[in-house]
Copies of this chain bind each other. A is one copy, B any other.
Amino acid sequence: MAQRRIGEMARRVGISPELLRAWERRYGLLEPVRTEAGYRLYSEEDERRVREMVRLVDSGVSPQQAASTVRSSAPAGPTEPSGRSPEAEAADLTQALARFDEAAADAALDRVFATYSLEAVLGRVVLPVLDDLGERWANGSATVAEEHFASNLIRGRLLGLARGWDAGAGPRAVLACPAGERHDLGLVAFGLALRSQGWRITFLGADTPAESLADTARLLRPAVVVLSAATSQPLADVPPIPGVPPARLAFGGRGATAELAKRAGAELLDPDMFSAAGQLAVELRSRARA
């Protein structure tokens, strides 16, 4: 993914770096990720927002007003064309998976990836389908085989998108499920959300013992280590991790609670993964200031 520093970004959109910083400071227009040294790194989405902002201001809207408009504008992209809503596609996908119909499932996924933003695909199709499956499995109306088949298929698609998610200059996040936790698909999705905002991702996945986390953290010095679990126990069992200061630890997933996070000194991530990604960016910035 393209990541630009402020000078290059300023040239591209035709305004001064000072103004970019002012808009960020005054209106929170952008929240670019930062390098280790604190340099801003802008994404393509950031560029789109700035262009939108410039357009509005040029057309006479006050900057304050324009910023508020841009902030609340959906991340552009084909919004609900084609008649088929993400929810309808999710229903199709669920049915295809229940029939073990790989071709139909892949076709549904192809359609949504081609039509909607990553945020919409993950938040309104993939995760709901997985949640639904989990629920139906819990109450006995879906088989383990169905759940396995669906997990493997979706995992393959998501890991395909994850290609190269460790490249670039952004802050690094190490993602893992603690020992005893086997559901890592949500974590893959969260990795993609972080990636879309410029982070570099090192994915360790399910069932990672604390000591391996410590080794990895020593080697890679990530800005944050994210632990995710579907239930509380695995998170409760995580010991302090040498080499990972609690300030650099974040808990997410259904199993994460305020109390568990507090006990470990970790950040508690928002259940919405795109909010959580933003949260980590803010946290990182305030840490840099300190």
Residues on A lying within 8 angstroms of B by beta carbon are 3-5, 7-8, 11-12, 60-62, 64-65, 68-69, 71-72, 100-103, 106, 143-146, 148-149, 151-153, 155-157, 159-160, 162-169, 176, 202-209, 211-213, 215-216, 219-220
Contacts and interface: CB of A to CB of B under 8 A. Distances in A.
Given A106-B164, A144-B208, A216-B145, A169 B68 contact: yes
Contacts of A219: 100
A216 B142 CA distance: 11
Contacts of A149: 202-205, 216
Given A148-B176, A156-B160, A168 B65 contact: yes
Majority SS at the chain A contact face: helix
5 contacts: A5-B65, A68-B167, A146-B212, A149-B203, A153-B203
Given A60-B8, A102-B166, A159-B156, A144 B65 contact: no
Nearest to A161: B156
Contacts of A7: 60
A261 to B, nearest CB: 22
Contacts of A167: 68-69, 71-72, 102-103
A67 B170 CA distance: 14
Given A69-B167, A100-B220, A102-B167, 8 more contacts: A68-B168, A71-B167, A103-B164, A106-B163, A144-B208, A145-B216, A152-B203, A152-B205
